[in-house]
Amino acid sequence: MRTAQFINGQYLDQTALNLLAGDAASGIRQAVGTWALPGLVHPEAIAWSVSGSTLTANCAYPFAVQFEGGIIATALGTTPGTSGSTYNIQLSGFIPTAGSQAVYINASYFSLGQTQETVVGPPQGNPAFNPTFAPFNFYTEQVDSIAVL
């Protein structure tokens, strides 16, 4: 689910407020109608492939995982500021010398920062303007992403 992030000194103009309101609306749309038990949402959207001892899962949208606490996380990768739906799972440690081995893939969710912007503070003429304000980078959007274990 996408959520807007705010920080002290961030100037919220019309464009920023519209983008952040859109994030809130898309997060609500994603949650509505998914009132179900925890588990996979659209597991048929996963494309599996194997190369050597590496299992690759391409978890394209609309695939998601609904967790027990109600969080619905999509596959957006693990690197802040980027989105990727492909996970490479190394299985070499699970290959037995004889016989067979069952392997279970677990997923957990975490917050991933997206849409990095430079916070420059309010413009001159604004009552909150401060000439000593030092601009900095901040992720203005946060998404719940899946980490595959």
pLDDT tens for each residue of 83-132: 889 999 999 989 888 999 898 888 888 888 888 888 888 888 888 889 99
Closest by Cα among 30, 27, 57 to 44: 57
Residue 31 near residue 14, CB atoms below 8 Å: no
Residue 27 near residue 2, CB atoms below 8 Å: yes
- Going by the DSSP 8-state scheme, the letter that residue 128 receives in this structure is T
pLDDT of residue 36: 59
- So where are the chain's domains? 2-148
- Going by the DSSP 8-state scheme, the letter that residue 34 receives in this structure is -
pLDDT tens for each residue of 29-77: 555 445 557 888 889 999 999 999 999 999 998 898 888 877 888 888 8
